[in-house]
């Protein structure tokens, strides 16, 4: 069954997903000029310097600040999980949503530690998540269909998921918030992300498929076999919206909308691991300007993440051997972002400090 990508595009346009404003390159250039006269050798702060300049370009000022960071974890189930592509059963998604809301998950701990306003979105969990002040009910359906047998989403569902991802950002982020941290939860979603990466980059499928939640060698080979079967049903389509509907997940579609929405409101977007990076890549295919707003928090241990980051010409801030998801890698990168801002705004220049600049 083919997906009518023109129908999807029409529906997305009708929902008025905002365009991405360009970052201010003049301010970025001014930021590098300031960095060069701070009391240090030129370039001595390494990658913190282009990071600070990127934040200046995003915020359009040299008087940069980090204000009220918001974290959003999108959760959903996947029909392909029934084919044994994960080391964990499908019901773990619902159980982990309860754990997020109860404060016992890793992202919950890090959010409290780093002052992140954390929200959880039910994008399509196969179960009743109940009600909670920090839960956004955006459920499309109780999990996608199995893309081994049929498209994961209908065109209408895909377009609606993109819209609801945007709406979640608008609901969760107050006007004075300027940092968006994105995470995900969904048993089977690295299988979906692998097919999406294959379609987006043209990389060989085997190089896009990793161990996910911790598959052994036998489980990894089975996962690859299942994904080959999906591609035998339909080869990865070139249109990004068609691809998303065919092989994506509700949480991945909402993450894609969230990246677009975050960039539209000129927020710094801290991207987590493999699945969120795939969503960022999808958003960049829809609007390349969004990558100027993205900082990739870490490189996960999922096999394909490093290759995907290279495809996006993105250098992650951290490489800790993590493979957890939930937004934890992005949350761990937030203190580095804060440090870059503090150094840029609080260090003295050579002139201010009365220190001799040997380059003059």
Would you please indicate which residues are annotated as catalytic (active-site) residues?
326
Asked if 117 contacts 103 with a C-beta cutoff of 8 angstroms, the reply is no
Count other C-beta atoms under 10 Å from residue 44's C-beta.
Answer: 11
Please, what's the b/e burial string for 84-106 (b: 16 or more CB within 10 A of its CB; e: otherwise)? ebbebebebbbebbbbbbeeebb
Which residue shows structure tokens 């930021």?
31
Element (H, E) at 321: none
Which residue shows structure tokens 């299988």?
191
In sign, the C-alpha dihedral spanning 283, 281, 100, 262 is negative
Which residue shows structure tokens 């992005």?
330
Torsion of CA 261, 180, 185, 128, to 10 degrees: -70
Nearest to 277 by CA among 245, 302, 243: 302
Asked if 336 contacts 55 with a C-beta cutoff of 8 angstroms, the reply is no
């Amino acid at each position: 069954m083919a997906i009518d990508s023109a129908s999807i595009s029409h529906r997305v346009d009708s929902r008025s997903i905002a365009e991405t404003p360009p970052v201010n390159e003049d301010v970025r250039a001014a930021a590098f000029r300031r960095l060069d006269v701070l009391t240090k050798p030129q370039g001595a702060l390494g990658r913190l310097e282009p990071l600070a300049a990127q934040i200046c370009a995003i915020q359009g000022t040299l008087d940069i600040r980090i204000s009220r960071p918001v974290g959003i974890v999108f959760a959903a189930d996947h029909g392909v999980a029934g084919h044994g592509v994960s080391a964990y059963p499908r019901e773990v998604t619902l159980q982990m949503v309860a754990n997020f809301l109860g404060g016992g998950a890793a992202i919950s701990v890090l959010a409290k530690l780093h002052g992140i306003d954390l929200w959880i979105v039910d994008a399509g969990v196969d179960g009743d998540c109940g009600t909670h002040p920090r839960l956004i009910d955006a459920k499309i359906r109780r999990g996608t269909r199995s893309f081994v047998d049929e498209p994961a989403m209908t065109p209408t569902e895909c377009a609606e998921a993109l819209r609801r991802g945007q709406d979640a950002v608008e609901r969760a982020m107050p006007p004075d918030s300027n940092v968006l941290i994105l995470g995900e939860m969904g048993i089977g979603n690295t299988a979906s992300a692998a097919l999406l990466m294959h379609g987006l980059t043209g990389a060989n499928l085997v190089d896009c498929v990793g161990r996910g939640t911790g598959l052994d060698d036998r489980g990894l080979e089975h996962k690859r076999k299942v994904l080959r079967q999906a591609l035998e049903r339909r080869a990865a389509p070139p249109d990004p919206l068609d691809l998303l509907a065919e092989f994506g997940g509700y949480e991945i579609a909402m993450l894609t909308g969230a990246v677009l929405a975050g960039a539209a409101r000129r927020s710094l977007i801290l991207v987590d691991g493999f699945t969120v990076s795939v969503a960022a890549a999808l958003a960049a295919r829809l609007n390349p300007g969004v990558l100027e707003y993205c900082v990739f928090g870490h490189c996960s241990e999922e096999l394909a993440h490093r290759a995907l980051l290279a495809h996006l010409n993105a250098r992650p801030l951290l490489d800790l051997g993590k493979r957890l998801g939930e937004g934890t890698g992005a949350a761990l990168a937030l203190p580095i972002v804060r440090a870059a801002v503090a150094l840029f705004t609080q260090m003295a220049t050579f002139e201010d400090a009365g220190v001799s600049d040997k380059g003059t």
